[in-house]
Structure 1
Amino acid sequence: MLVYFNPQIYETPTNSKGKYMYTIISGTNRNNSKSLMVAKTIEKMYQEQNVEVNVIDLRDLPQSLFLPESYDKKPDEFQPFIDKVVNAKGLIIVAAEYNGSAPGILKYFIDMLPYPDAFENVGVSFVGLAAGKWAGIRAVEHMQQVFGYRDASIHPKRVFIPNSYGVLSSEDSFKTSDEFKRLNEQTKSFINFCDRLID
């Protein structure tokens, strides 16, 4: 019997649970957000590394998710969001800083995801941004506490974007920034990190 080797099957390594894709979460539901701009930029970086990647825009969350009964039974229209998280080999969280922490919608989204399946032993990488000089470090460190509690595997190479309205004022200014270079480096490092995780 002849066995044919198809190299496309082996382009993206999976972990022992068969997970292979990466999911980027734009951690705000604000219109025209810098977080989404960064998330879309990161998406292109992962595509250039020939891995499957999705972006979750929290503006797209179904309104039914915000009803009190959602704590007991998740609405059916929320299932595609769950799938993009629980089937992810790695998660990239883009978190702006709102009032010294991450946006409330990001925490609520996390609260609505299944426990423990959503994050246990899953690689998680962080990007923080803010208009000020501290670049979202408080938002990211708060999220690291949350994901640490949920037994995620936290990637140590964080990226912070200060002066977000200046750095992200245009695509051209962003692409020539040090932050853009660090995001590229983080992308490659995180893929390697997730490939080495043991469930």
Structure 2
Amino acid sequence: MTDPATPIVIIVGTNRPHSVSRQIADYYQQILHRNGATSTILDLHDLPADFTVSALYSNNGKSEAFNQLRKLVDEAEKFVFIVPEYNGSYPGVLKAFIDGLPYPNSFTNKKAALVGLSSNPQGAIIALSHLNDVFSYLGMNTLALRVKLGQIRSYFSNGTITNDLYNELLDMQAQQLIRL
């Protein structure tokens, strides 16, 4: 069991400004707070615009802005990934972010909850499957309960999810992650 004072890091899996993913991350943070857990949000919108050039490969470790985000990941033991579906998978910026982290230690033996959202009824099920494969390769332990928020725009209004089942699943997942 990890130190309860160590915040859970909620990662917004897109760099799109003012994204629904960010709003869902804020909502999830409230759920964690209600369940007695501290959390912080790492929004990929805060990545340096040039991070694929300034922070990766031969420039690894040289971008102070990227290094601050990397430090947050390195110090965390638990994560929630809010993952929008982009073209049948997860956003490329999330993959590039993961690729910029130290391999294999950034996620090895750490825990993650996955939340997918999409405008279609499936709730990013394939995106979560792809991401889970990557995390499995990296040694991350993901919760079996992957919450899939299909047709999210129909069930999210004014910062609130209006679907009772979605709320129940999110709360159940958050409690599972906290207990690990």
The reply to whether TM is greater than 0.5 is yes
- Offset, 1:117: 1.7
TM superposition shift of 1:127: 0.3
Match of 1:7 in 2: none
Counterpart residue number, 1:155: 143
Matches within 5 A, 1:89-168: 89-168=77-156
Match of 2:37 in 1: 51
Q: Distance in 2 between matches of 1:182 and 1:113?
A: 30
User: 8 Å contact 2:147–2:169 — kept in the other structure?
Assistant: yes
Matched residue SS, 1:189: helix
What is the aligned residue count?
178
Alignment root-mean-square deviation, CA: 1.9
Partner of 2:76: 88
Q: Percent identity?
A: 29
Structure 1 unaligned residues grouped into runs of 5+ = 1-12, 195-199
Matched, 1:37 2:41: no
- Give the aligned residue type for 2:97: F
- The equivalent position to 1:170 in structure 2, one of 115, 139, 158, is 158
Distance, in Å, in 2 between the alignment partners of 1:67 and 1:171 is 35
The 1-side partners of 2:168 and 2:100 are apart by: 34
Cα deviation code 1:11-57 (max 9, x no counterpart): xx636xx9832101010011221111111111111122222211011
User: What SS class does the counterpart of residue 2 from structure 2 fall into?
Assistant: coil
Answer yes or no: is 1:66 the counterpart of 2:45.
no
Deviation >4 Å, runs of 4+: none
User: Paired residue for 1:197?
Assistant: none
Whole-angstrom distance in 1 between the partners of 2:132 and 2:30: 24
Partners of 2:111 and 2:135 in 1: CA distance: 10
Residues 123 and 151 in structure 2, CA contact (< 8 A), matched pair in contact too: yes
**C-alpha distance in structure 2 between counterparts of 1:19 and 1:70, whole Å:** 31
1:169 Cα deviation after fit: 3.1
In the other structure, the counterpart of 2:172 is 185
Q: Where in structure 2 are there 5+ consecutive unaligned residues?
A: none
| 3-state SS of 2:9 partner | strand
TM-score, length-scaled by structure 2: 0.91
Counterparts of 1:162 and 1:69, CA distance in 2: 34
Larger radius of gyration: 1
For 2:118, give the aligned amino acid: A
Partner of 1:78: 66
